[in-house]
Amino acid sequence: MKRIIVTGGCGFIGSNFIRLFLEQEPNLQIVNVDCLTYAGNLENLKDLESDSRLSFARVDITDPESLQNLFLEPVDSVIHFAAESHVDRSILDSGPFIRTNVLGTQILLDLAKKASVRKFVHVSTDEVYGSLGANGFFTETTPLAPTSPYSASKASSDMLVKSYCHTFGFPGVITRCSNNYGPYQFPEKIIPLFISNILEDIQVPVYGDGLQIRDWIHVTDHCSGVYAAWKSGVAGEVYNFGGRCELTNLELTTTLLNLMDKPKSLIKFVQDRPGHDRRYAIDCAKAEAGLGWKPVISFQKGIADTIRWYQENREWVARVKSGAYREYYQQQYGSRL
């Protein structure tokens, strides 16, 4: 049985990916490598805990000694999700972002190279391209121009993967996706934060004028893209994924309030995010043509399902919002709200 290492499988996208991957590929062995930061949660894979094809290794990818043990047995491929992923946290403290996203990726790349893996899918982000004006789209050839410590760390890791492909003929494939939403997303990102606040009639903090634009994609569509990149992505290539669903943050917030039958008075305009990117929008023609992929979940259906998931999983939300979360929330929003 092929053995695949998936890093960051206890996070939002990684856990959704593992579920999709095991459905698509019944004869695979997955080793989920995750150090369980605040964003990692074994509960996200609870429904798969008796599946013998999935094993878990609590390992920090910045720790080469522990990580190398996982490469003692043959590894077919690596699918690399593990990262510090929240822009606001990178503004508060960039250290963990450089450690995990840059150093961790380099350590993983070296081990994967030594193990001669067949494929290495590096899951990156559209934020490496910087910010768009009112028109145009990011394509795979848009120059990298990251603006936040988070996106700078992701761009650095992309460059490392590219350099390994170029220098060593390493079988790396890079994916860059726009903003995801769906079940199991940590309530620090706008959609789960706002839904969980609205459920408790707590005000939602809209940064600046709320006219920044994001291109929303359901997490399952992103995961099917990563799967397609693993299956048929060409080594050395980059593939963009997006949902063709541009919304201003204010449009998004109003949609959530309307669907949840709550008043607009819950909106609170707060101080803007420093260096806030204005607009992201993805051209995913290359992935459509080259991988036979396309997003299939409409925002209308995806967001209704997501609201329902958070309504039905209030205990999950309460658990992940306990402990250190309160400290973060206070630090992030205390002086703004």
Q: Which residues are catalytically annotated? A: 126-127, 150
Give least dist CB 178 to ligand NAD, A.
7
Write the CB contacts of 279 (distance below 8 Å, at least 6 apart in sequence).
Answer: 131, 132, 133, 134, 212, 213, 246
Give least dist CB 166 to ligand NAD, A.
22
36 exposed, middle or buried (CB, 10 Å; 0-12, 13-18, 19+)? Answer: middle
CA dist., res. 11 & res. 14, Å (int): 5
17 exposed, middle or buried (CB, 10 Å; 0-12, 13-18, 19+)? Answer: buried
Interface with ligand NAD includes 8 (CB under 6 A)? yes
Q: Which amino acid is at 231?
A: K
Give least dist CB 59 to ligand DAU, A.
22
Give least dist CB 336 to ligand DAU, A.
9
C-beta separation of 240 from 176 below 8 A: yes
CA dist., res. 71 & res. 91, Å (int): 34
| DSSP β-ladder status, 246-248 and 213-218 | antiparallel
Interface with ligand DAU includes 119 (CB under 6 A)? no
C-beta separation of 188 from 153 below 8 A: no
Interface with ligand DAU includes 127 (CB under 6 A)? yes
Nearer to ligand DAU, 45 or 191 (CB): 191
Write the DSSP symbol of residue 42: G
Write the DSSP symbol of residue 279: B
Interface with ligand DAU includes 212 (CB under 6 A)? yes
Nearer to ligand DAU, 62 or 178 (CB): 178
Interface with ligand DAU includes 175 (CB under 6 A)? no
Interface with ligand NAD includes 5 (CB under 6 A)? no
Residue 214 binds which entry of ligand NAD, ligand DAU, none, with Cβ cut-offs from 5 to 8 Å by kind? ligand DAU
Using CB under 6 A, which residues numbered 186 to 225 contact ligand NAD?
186
Site string for ligand NAD, 153-192 (x = CB under 6 A): -x----------------------x-xx-----x------
Interface with ligand NAD includes 303 (CB under 6 A)? no
Nearer to ligand NAD, 83 or 229 (CB): 83
Residue with tokens 């359901």: 218
SS3 309: helix
Using CB under 6 A, which residues numbered 266 to 325 contact ligand DAU?
273, 280
Question: For every residue of 87-154, which 3-state class applies, written as one string?
Answer: HHHHHHCCHHHHHHHHHHHHHHHHHHHHCCCCEEEEEEEHHHHCCCCCCCCECCCCCCCCCCHHHHHH
Q: Which amino acid is at 54?
A: L
Give least dist CB 1 to ligand DAU, A.
32
Nearer to ligand NAD, 158 or 264 (CB): 158
Interface with ligand DAU includes 249 (CB under 6 A)? yes
Residues lying near ligand DAU in the complex (CB under 6 A) = 85-88, 125-127, 178-179, 189-190, 193, 205-207, 212, 214, 249, 273, 280
Residues lying near ligand NAD in the complex (CB under 6 A) = 7-8, 10-14, 34-37, 39-40, 60-62, 81-85, 100, 104, 123, 125, 154, 177, 179-180, 186
